[in-house]
Structures are given as structure tokens and as C-alpha cells.
């Protein structure tokens, strides 16, 4: 193993040799034994990066926070909202008024069946 390969493994897997591929561990240990003083700076930098990453990836437990948020949330006592009932009533009244008004605007019924015949004629076709 040479220094470039050791530094590449150090950058890829970190300072903990137990996370390195099994085939590389023995060779890396021998390389560190032979060149330990030269590699101290690179190994220390890898340890610092490992420490920073382990702190960045630590996720706090959110159970207590979730419990506090749920406890502080307002409680609904009503099962049915009055605004929904008012909106439904307004729609019903609007529909009745619109239907009645539309019926007032409709033409008066014809005395014979020509009313149904007019439905199938083209507009402007008089005759």
C-alpha cells in the first residue's frame, strides 16, 4: 500500500479502520506501523471530520417536543362547525331563488305541441 491509496481509504471510510474493507485493513495497519508519524496529521484530520459528521447526523429525540406541541394545541369541542351549516343553508336558498327566477324568465307555454317542434329546429329557421 502506498500513501495515496491510504489517504484515499482514509477519505472514503474515515479514521476508524474497522469501517474499511476487510481486504485493506491488514495492509493499512502495516502501513501505519511503518509510517505512523508521517500519517498522524492526515489521521487526525480524518478523526475531526468523523467527529463533526457524527454530531451533524445525531438526531435529537422528538417525543418530548411532540408531546408539548400536542398538549399546547387548541382542543375542538364542537363536532360540527356552524359555518358549514350556514354555508349549506345559503346554497339551498340561492338554488331556490335562482330556480324560481329562471322559471319566471321562461316563455309562456304554447297551446299546441309546436313548443317541442321548436326544440329541434335550427335557429333563425322560420317556417
> Residue 94: how many CA atoms within 13 Å on its side-chain side?
6
The answer on 91 and 57 residing in a single domain is no
| Total structural domains within the chain | 2
96 assigned to some structural domain:
yes
At 116, is the secondary structure helix, strand, or coil?
helix
Residue with cell 485493513: 25
- Dmax (CA) for the chain in angstroms is 115
Domain that holds residue 97: 82-118
pLDDT digits (tens, 9 = 90+) for 42-93: 888 888 988 888 776 666 677 788 888 888 988 877 777 788 899 999 999 9
Residues 39 and 11 in one domain: yes
Confidence tier at 94 by pLDDT (50, 70, 90): very high
Quickly tell me which residue has 511503518 as its cell: 34
In angstroms, the CA 7 to CA 17 distance is 12
Do 15 and 57 fall within a single domain? yes
Global pTM reads 0.42
Measured from the Cβ of residue 23, the count of other Cβ atoms closer than 10 Å reads 8
* pLDDT band (50, 70, 90) for residue 103: confident
* Pairwise CA distance, residues 29 & 22, whole Å: 11
The verdict on 53 and 95 lying in the same domain is: no
CA pseudo-torsion sign 63, 65, 71, 76: negative
pLDDT at 108 over 60: yes
Residues 41 and 12 in one domain: yes
- pLDDT tens digits, 1-38: 788 888 888 888 888 888 888 888 888 888 888 887 88
77 located within any domain = no
In this predicted structure, what is the pLDDT of residue 115?
62
6 φ, ψ (degrees, to nearest 5): -60, -45
Residue 71 is assigned to a structural domain of this protein: no
Amino acid at each position: 500500500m502506498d500513501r495515496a491509496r491510504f489517504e484515499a481509504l482514509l477519505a472514503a471510510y474515515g479514521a476508524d479502520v474497522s469501517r474499511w474493507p476487510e481486504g485493506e485493513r491488514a495492509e493499512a495497519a502495516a502501513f501505519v506501523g511503518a509510517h505512523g508519524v508521517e500519517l498522524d496529521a492526515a489521521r487526525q484530520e480524518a478523526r475531526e471530520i468523523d467527529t463533526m459528521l457524527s454530531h451533524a447526523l445525531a438526531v435529537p429525540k422528538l417525543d418530548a417536543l411532540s408531546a408539548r406541541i400536542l398538549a399546547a394545541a387548541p382542543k375542538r369541542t364542537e363536532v360540527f362547525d356552524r359555518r358549514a351549516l350556514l354555508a349549506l343553508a345559503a346554497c339551498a336558498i340561492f338554488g331556490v331563488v335562482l330556480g324560481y327566477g329562471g322559471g319566471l324568465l321562461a316563455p309562456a307555454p304554447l297551446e299546441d305541441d309546436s313548443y317541442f317542434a321548436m326544440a329541434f329546429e335550427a335557429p333563425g329557421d322560420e317556417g
